[in-house]
Amino acid sequence: MKRIGLFLLTNLAVLVVAGVVLQLLGVESILATGGVDLNLRALLVFSAVFGMSGAFVSLALSKWMAKRAVGAVVIEPGSDPRHQWLLQTVARHADAAGIGAPEVALYEDATPNAFATGARRNNALVAVSTGLLKSMTRDEVDGVLAHEVSHIANGDMVTMALLQGVLNTFVIFLSRVVGYLVDRLVLKNERGLGIGYFVTSIIAQIAFGILASFVVMWFSRRREFRADAGAARLAGAPNMIAALERLKRGPAEPLPESLAAYGVNGGEVHGWRRLMLSHPPLEARIEALKHARHLQA
């Protein structure tokens, strides 16, 4: 819960700082028509530009940022023979999924985990923790690698960026509309955009940003079931189930929040806090795979 809280506070701080800077620079003056009315068309364009650009800049830099966030080192062909199996397995799954072979990297972490990222399906990255290699059998690692390749094949990174961009757009748009209505109808300001608009729009942006986070996390949880199903097709349901069972038996330390949605293990919490998890409970994922096997039998 502490990590989730820090993540939300960081995002809210970015929203507030960006809003204040734009206001101080006078950028939002374009939203006022004749100094009185709110120009909704200009506001929508303004919101889409800032909302979508941030999401796609992050996506474009995702591989570079991911490597530095966890200290991942790319495995080169012909390097340590112990790691060549990872390259071969990822390449085999990528070929079966119809995508280009991703880069494969290792990072030092005792916690068993792995993640995939990248702006394009044919130029992605799969990173594996040293803890995952030490704690799992090859069959279990095979299931994890297939899960990450499935994320890439499904285009999950791009889809998440699109979703985040659309939500950012509406957060910015609606918060300005609320700020305008409070400024005009409640504070009775009729001379341009007053202090009520600026203060209220920032507060509304924070509130809408929190609600948007719930939507993003809900969608992320649905993606995990699809990636698990893809892993079952690529590596076999028994391997993926065994990998999830192994994760249940060990403590789960989540990845950095910027990467958590793309990992295989999102950690376990209970109660309402599950609404802010990027991954569904491991038990639910295992049951979904077993149910799918039963239907296919």
The set of catalytic residues is 148
d(Cα 91, Cα 99) in Å, to the nearest integer?
9
Query: Do residues 112 and 136 touch, judged by C-beta distance below 8 A?
Result: yes
Rounded distance between C-alpha atoms, residue 31 and residue 43, angstroms: 6
Strand segments (E) across the chain: 32-33, 37-38, 73-74, 103-107, 114-120, 123-129
Q: Is residue 259 within 8 Å of residue 109, measured between CB atoms?
A: no
Rounded-to-integer distance, Cα 47 and Cα 172, Å: 5
For residues 152 and 204, give the distance between their C-alpha atoms in angstroms, rounded to a whole number.
35
Phi, psi of 119 (to 5 degrees): -80, -25
Per DSSP, the three-state class of 232 is helix
Q: For residue 206, what is the DSSP state?
A: H
Whole-number Å distance between alpha carbons of 130 and 271: 31
Look up residue 90 and give its two tokens.
């990822």
Which candidate, 192, 168, 170, places its Cα nearest to that of 180? 192
The Cα–Cα gap between 71 and 278 comes to: 22
